[in-house]
């Protein structure tokens, strides 16, 4: 999990600047606008570090630091960096006596702030965090009810949101084996390794998979589709479940973006996956396809809870609203993602996903909401056989 940092500052401009800077570094950020709220959030959120302004309404920074140190006693120690415009030595001494671990004078350079944060986090990291934790091991299949509904866009940006905003270790698999787009949409060359390097090896194990995964600048690990349609034939229906089960042991989330064919390979993927997200839009041809998919999945014996519907471009005018769509399908639409078509297409064509470059956009916030709901879903029992995950 990423370190959680509590920012206590009453200046909205400083809040925005710190939030942006910290999120760019992968930290989770909680904001308080006065001393009393800062003290309350310290107790409620259990942050890993606090950036604490001195001049605050209700309780000043010295009072907040003193109260925190009194409350935590000898059972814990959250690092505190005091922020102030005062350059006097007496102010610095007062802050340190109140319990601050470090002191920064405004304005300061972001690089200096990051260096001090990382130093304190390393110094006070709990032993459990150093040891680490086992991965969640959830496999999520994203399936487009028809071409052009935005499945790849959602897969890529949901993976980035789960990693950068929620601190999960994420693998993204391009399961459109013949005509995968991840290589293009993430601005990667044909020289990058792909799933072909795994299936043509003598044995498939964790070490091999680690060597083949491609690290994206966002921090997400990628398993790319074959570089050409003819090499896709090397990947068989037996390979995908093995690869996904290996990835499950290495990552919190494995997101696999698959095409709309329900062939043996995709059925093997769906058998292995914990959840199948059917991505759709509110138009007649798509609703027809979704209804057929739901019927097919039902005939295969999967429970209704394994399949979730994702309505993309939910606020686009198509003449069919959400209620009408749910009536036609005779089931609830589980997730809705807003329409910002130009922003999404521009991001894909530039090779820079919007969750990586414009996470604060309307579309970015909508994808983050989706990722948060997914992350809060109950976990499947570890090691449960694939056949029992239906």
Same domain, 357 and 250: yes
| Residue 35, domain extent | 4-131
Same domain, 99 and 191: no
Domain ends where: 131, 164, 192? 131
Mean pLDDT on 300-316: 88
Same domain, 166 and 81: no
pLDDT tens digits for range 266-292: 999 999 999 999 999 999 999 999 999
- Predicted confidence at residue 32, as pLDDT, reads 95
Number of domain units in the chain: 2
CA dist list (Å): 279 to 139, 150, 154, 260, 333: 16, 7, 9, 10, 10
Of 315, 321, 276, 325, the residue nearest 298 (C-alpha) = 276
Domain ends where: 131, 159, 184? 131
CA dist list (Å): 23 to 27, 55, 82, 99, 163: 5, 24, 20, 26, 11
Q: Which two three-digit tokens encode residue 89?
A: 């030595």
CATH code (residue 297): 3.40.50.300
Same domain, 281 and 229: yes
Judge if the upstream peptide bond of residue 107 is cis by omega within 30 degrees of 0. yes
Same domain, 168 and 301: yes
CATH code (residue 116): 3.40.50.2300
Q: Using pLDDT thresholds of 50, 70 and 90, give the confidence band for residue 336.
A: very high
34 within 8 A of 59, measured Cβ to Cβ: yes
DSSP state of 24: H
354 within 8 A of 363, measured Cβ to Cβ: yes
Same domain, 331 and 276: yes
pLDDT tens digits for range 120-171: 887 776 544 444 557 889 999 999 999 889 999 999 999 998 987 787 899 9
Q: Quick check: 107 pLDDT over 50? A: yes
Same domain, 157 and 299: yes
Distance (Å, whole) CA 263 – CA 19: 46
Same domain, 303 and 244: yes
Of 129, 99, 103, 98, the residue nearest 116 (C-alpha) = 103
Q: Which two three-digit tokens encode residue 307?
A: 């399949």
Domain ends where: 131, 153, 183? 131
Same domain, 161 and 94: no
Same domain, 126 and 244: no
Same domain, 126 and 142: no
Same domain, 170 and 236: yes
pLDDT tens digits for range 53-84: 999 999 999 999 999 999 887 667 899 999 98
């Amino acid at each position: 999990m990423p370190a959680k940092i509590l920012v206590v500052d009453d200046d909205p401009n400083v809040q925005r600047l710190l939030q942006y800077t910290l999120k760019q570094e992968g930290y989770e950020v909680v904001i308080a606008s006065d001393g009393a709220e800062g003290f309350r959030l310290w107790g409620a959120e259990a942050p890993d570090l606090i950036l604490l302004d001195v001049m605050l309404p209700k309780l000043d920074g010295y009072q907040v630091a003193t109260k925190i140190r009194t409350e935590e006693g000898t059972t814990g120690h959250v690092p505190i960096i005091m922020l102030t415009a005062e350059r006097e030595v007496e102010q610095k001494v007062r802050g340190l006596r109140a319990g601050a671990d470090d002191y920064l004078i405004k304005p300061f350079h972001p690089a200096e702030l990051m260096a001090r944060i990382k130093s304190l986090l390393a110094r006070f990291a709990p032993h459990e965090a150093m040891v680490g934790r086992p991965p969640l091991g959830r496999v999520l299949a994203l399936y487009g009810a028809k071409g052009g509904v935005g499945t790849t866009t959602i897969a890529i940006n949901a993976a980035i949101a789960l990693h950068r905003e929620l601190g999960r270790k994420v693998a993204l698999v391009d399961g459109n084996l013949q005509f995968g787009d991840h290589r293009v949409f993430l601005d990667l060359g044909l020289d990058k390794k792909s799933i072909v390097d795994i299936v043509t090896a003598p044995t498939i194990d964790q070490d091999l998979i680690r060597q083949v995964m491609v690290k994206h600048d966002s921090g997400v690990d990628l398993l790319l589709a074959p570089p050409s349609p003819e090499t896709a034939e090397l990947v068989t229906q037996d390979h995908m479940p093995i690869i996904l089960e290996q990835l499950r042991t290495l990552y919190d989330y494995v997101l696999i973006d698959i095409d709309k064919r329900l062939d043996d390979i995709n059925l093997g993927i769906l058998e292995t996956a914990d959840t199948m997200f059917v991505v759709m839009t509110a138009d007649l041809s798509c609703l027809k396809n979704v209804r057929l998919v739901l019927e097919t999945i039902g005939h295969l014996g999967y429970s209704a809870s394994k399949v979730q519907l994702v309505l993309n471009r939910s606020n686009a005018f198509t003449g069919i609203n959400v209620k009408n769509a749910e009536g036609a399908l005779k089931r609830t639409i589980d997730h809705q993602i807003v329409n910002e078509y130009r922003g999404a297409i521009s991001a894909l064509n530039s090779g820079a996903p919007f969750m990586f470059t414009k996470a604060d956009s309307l579309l970015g916030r909508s994808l983050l909401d989706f990722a948060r709901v997914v992350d809060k879903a109950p976990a499947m029992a570890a090691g449960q056989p694939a056949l029992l995950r239906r």
